[in-house]
Amino acid sequence: MRNYVLSHNPSSLRVLPGQLLQYIQDSRSISGWFSPFPGTYILKSTEELATLQRQFSGSSRENTFLLRTQR
């Protein structure tokens, strides 16, 4: 199991926060999550970083985000 930090601009109108949260909740790759503040999610997954990056890129082609492994 790995921990990741996903960060995006919550004031961007390209993807609404509710849409991103729904994607996170529906994703079979994410087994748990926590949002300490708007625009940031701590994710738990067994997937590799590159796999999750592709999945989030596919969820919104126009939204920019940062996804990093939490050490």
Nearest residue to 2 via CA among 29, 39, 40:
29
SS (H, E, C) 1-54: CEEEEEEECCCCCCCCHHHHHHHHHHCCCEEEEEEEECCEEEEEECCCHHHHHH
Q: Where are the domains of the chain?
A: 2-69
pLDDT at 3 exceeding the cut of 80: yes
- DSSP class of residue 57 equals H
- The string of pLDDT tens digits covering residues 5-31 is 998 877 766 666 678 888 899 999 999
Q: In this structure, which amino acid lies at residue 43? A: L
Q: Is residue 67 over pLDDT 70?
A: yes
* 8-state DSSP, 71: -
| Percent of the chain whose pLDDT exceeds 70 | 80
Find out if CATH 3.30.70.100 is the number for domain 2-69: yes
